[in-house]
Structure 1
Amino acid sequence: MTLNLFDQFMSPTYLGIPLIAIALTLPSILILTPTSRHQNNRLMSLQSWFIKTFTQQLLTPLNQGGHKWAMILASLMMFILTLNIMGLLPYTFTPTTQLSLNMGLAVPLWLATVIIGLRNQPTAALGHLLPEGTPALLIPILIVIETISLFIRPLALGVRLTANLTAGHLLIQLISTATITLAPTMTTVAMLTATLLVLLTLLEVAVAIIQAYVFVLLLSLYLQENV
């Protein structure tokens, strides 16, 4: 019996081995690897079509310099998407509900976009901290505000992903517990909550896909400002 609703988000260990380390290796196993065959199977063709379509849509607003990030962004999208979807299966652990993991992904990638901007176009990168035509009295205040907003970006990336997945998992657990509790005494109400649980599970699948896309999309927008 779960003593605390947040126990499901603790990083479990088995025989001293953290299961989050095993969960992080599964996407590399589940994602298909292209072969030298002239004709791929259906799953491989579907995966290739998805990656190609996603990469084209993501890189269309970027100039030629940003296209070097195509492999990183596509791999990150597949990695987070696989972890999110696998976390909806029974008796599984969702690594992306851990803020430490999400921040570990967000901070280095965000910092890489900032460093690229400072290296390639330092004037334009620093110019984002002060909009053109700002009155002299507001210059110090705006610089402080824009600097804070710049450093909040990786925090927003990590917290957004963590909060959305955590809230969804909590709702599923609460409604499933209510369904099991009401089943012996109030069958009609239990059927309604079970229907709501199915609809919520479908919504969580959509949230898992959307949040992976939003995470990578925001990174591409940060990259667009610095290339």
Structure 2
Amino acid sequence: MAAIELLVSALARTLAGARTIAIGTNSPIPAAAALLAQARAAAPVEVMIIGSARHWPFTDGGRELFDFAAQGRLDAFVLGGGQIDRTGAINLVRAGKARFPGSFGSAYLYPLVPRIVLFRAEHTPRVLVERVEFASARGRPAALVTGKAVFGFAEGGFTLSSVHPGETADGIRAATGFALPAAAGPVPETPPPDAEDLALLHGPIAEDLAALYPRFVAQSLRAASR
């Protein structure tokens, strides 16, 4: 899998331009990406992270977030999935004997929020499947970021936008459980985080997330900066 900083910066680029970004529970990499997108933005960006004392403006749990989204005020949300299929459907319930955390509000937010970004660090045929065994939510994602690549989404499904350093387009196709359209030309490499990204991640963003995600910060952000 690509380095954490690369995944965070790649995910942050898919969130660029959003004015309001919400992140769900148990999502340290998306949370760091949202804060990086906020820090790098030219205009003010509001980031809402469930569980964060600093970045959660609501007092009545997820219900207020759903109302916020229904009013057209939420620009971007990051969703994951135990399975993700070629149509962008996600499975957050079960696959065979495996049980996932549950759908929560994904079915509501997916078709409602203008920019849904999918994220899953694991990139294998058991995760990226032809068809999910259970559809928790369906919609049209803006992008998919994995531990190997970044994908866009068109009418026919996912398209390969970039491969992470050390990966190849052929290798990505072999690790993906659904067919990908042929690229018009060479697939570019995912840009690495620049010096400013790294300074933000290892400094103020690590400090910001330390209370909510202490292990992630200690093992992935602060450890990487040594």
TM-score by length of 1: 0.21
Q: Which structure dedicates a bigger proportion of its chain to helix?
A: 1
Q: Which has the larger radius of gyration?
A: 1
Relative contact order higher in (CA < 8 Å, ≥ 6 apart): 1
More strand by percentage: 2
